[in-house]
Amino acid sequence: MAMNTHGLTDDQKDIRALAARFADEVVAPQAMQWDREHRFPKEVVQQLGELGLMGVCIPQALGGAGADYLTYVLVIEELSRGDAGLGVTLAVHTGAGTLPVIARGTRQQIERIVPPLAQGHELAAFALTESNAGSDASALATRSDNGNLTGTKQWVTNGSVAHSFIVFAKDPDRPSAFVVRRGAHGFKPVRETDKLGLNSSSTADLQFDETPAERLGLPGAGLRIALATLDGGRIGIAAQATGIAQAALDLAVKHAKERRTFGKPIGAHQAIQQKLADMQTEIEAARALTWRAARLKDADRPHTVEGAQAKLFASAVARRVTGEAIQVLGGYGYTRELPAERYYRDAKVTEIYEGTSEIQRLVIARALLGEAARE
Choose the catalytic residue: 111, 258, 354, 375.
354
b or e along 31-42 (b: 16 or more beta carbons within 10 Å of the residue's beta carbon)? bbebbeeeebbe
In three-state secondary structure terms, 212 is strand
Number of domains in the chain: 3
pLDDT one-digit tens code per residue, 47-94: 999 999 999 999 999 999 999 999 999 999 999 999 999 999 999 999
Q: What is the mean pLDDT of the chain?
A: 95
Closest residue by Cα to residue 287 from 235, 217, 232, 229: 235
Q: Domain holding 23: CATH number?
A: 1.10.540.10
Please, which residues have CB within 8 angstroms of residue 119's CB and are 6 or more apart in sequence? Answer: 49, 54, 55, 63, 64
Domain hosting residue 354, numbered range: 223-370
192 and 61 assigned to the same domain: no
354 in active site: yes
Q: What is the mean pLDDT of residues 294-308?
A: 97
130 and 251 assigned to the same domain: no
65 and 41 assigned to the same domain: yes
Give the residue from 118, 139, 174 where a domain finishes. Answer: 118
The pLDDT of residue 138: 74
Q: Does the model's pTM come out above 0.75?
A: yes
Closest residue by Cα to residue 253 from 335, 340, 124: 340
20 and 48 assigned to the same domain: yes
pLDDT one-digit tens code per residue, 17-50: 999 999 999 999 999 999 999 999 999 999 999 9
206 and 249 assigned to the same domain: no
pLDDT one-digit tens code per residue, 160-218: 999 999 999 999 889 999 999 999 999 999 999 999 999 999 999 999 999 999 999 99
